[in-house]
Amino acid sequence: MNDDCWAGIEQAIAEASGHAPAPMRRTSVGGGDINAAYRLEGPTERWFVKLNRADRLWMFEAEAAGLAAMAAAAEGPRVPRPLTTGVAGNRSYAVMEWIDLRPRGDTAALGHALAHLHAVTADQYGWDRDNTIGDTDQVNPWGRDWVAFYREHRLRFQLDLARRNGFGGRLQDRGEALAARLGAFFSDYTPAPSLLHGDLWSGNVAFDGSGAPVLYDPAVYFGDRESDLAMSELFGRLPAAAYSAYEAVWPLDAGYPVRRELYQLYHILNHANLFGGPYAREAEGMIDRLLAQV
């Protein structure tokens, strides 16, 4: 780890927070999959800092913009307040509010807040910037046709990447067959373009000291809210009370159970691209099951 970055980061924190520069205690915190993570403690405030290569600054800028968009949702979840991003000593960094995260809290409030996040809508699908899902690029050009958006910018984007990563053959053939038939899953359903967390697995959900739900590490865009719920059911599930509270605010369409695997497929393809073989085989099985339904 390049230690040269810290003076620059502490200076940037002082400038952005309006506090006088002060020595800060730095603790490495067990990080996520992608970035190195630290807690910085000054005399009055604590900050959560992520570091990556300098050329990943755009990723942190997109994350900060996503957190800001989520924070604006009335009755939405608490999110870490982004402070500043930049490059110092060859590292890109993102600084945000430190929150003492806990695994347990008000699960009904979680569902309520998620539904209110999704209640923020745009008039098109996409976002005003691209971002990342895990370490993979996620493109978000605005468009009015959800089926075309999901086909081109989610499924085909990951399938093309998979081909370049050596997953050719059957995955490509079956994946293309599914992309061509995608409209069949939406014959009587047109989703609203909802503000999505975008990477809503249980590792990106926690609670603060008062028990209020906190969402972090987003991959924000406007899309079908079912895709957030599908992701939340992919690697474990949220507590049952979260789903019932969600539906008390905004019930799901009856076709969600069929589309759930379609939305989970995007993340499994991404896992194949990030982590390799077994996920590619899992994706093939998902595609086979989906094609059997249309």
Stretch that binds ligand ADP, among 97-105, 182-190, 225-233, 284-292 (CB under 6 A): 97-105
Residue 102 beta carbon to ligand ADP: minimum distance, rounded to whole angstroms = 10
Per CB under 6 A, the list member of 4, 15, 33, 128 interacting with ligand ADP is 33
Q: Is 208 a catalytic residue?
A: no
Burial class of residue 104 (count of CB atoms within 10 Å of its CB; 0-12, 13-18, 19+):
exposed
Q: CA 228 to CA 248: how far, in whole Å?
A: 17
Residues 41-70 contacting ligand ADP, CB under 6 A: 48, 50
DSSP classification of residue 185 = G
Q: Are 20 and 26 contacting, i.e. CB atoms less than 8 angstroms apart?
A: no
Closest by CA to 49, choosing from 65, 67, 27, is: 27
> Active-site residue among 33, 128, 199, 228?
199
Tokens of 17: 């927070």
Binding of ligand ADP at residue 240 (CB under 6 A)?
no
Contact mark string toward ligand ADP, 199..218, x via CB under 6 A: ----xx-----------xx-
Binding of ligand ADP at residue 274 (CB under 6 A)?
no
Contact mark string toward ligand ADP, 70..89, x via CB under 6 A: ----------x---------
Tokens of 35: 């970035």
Q: CA 72 to CA 271: how far, in whole Å?
A: 30
Q: Are 106 and 212 contacting, i.e. CB atoms less than 8 angstroms apart?
A: yes
Q: Which residues bind ligand ADP (CB under 6 A)?
A: 29, 31-35, 37, 48, 50, 80, 96-99, 101, 203-204, 216-217
- Catalytic positions are 199
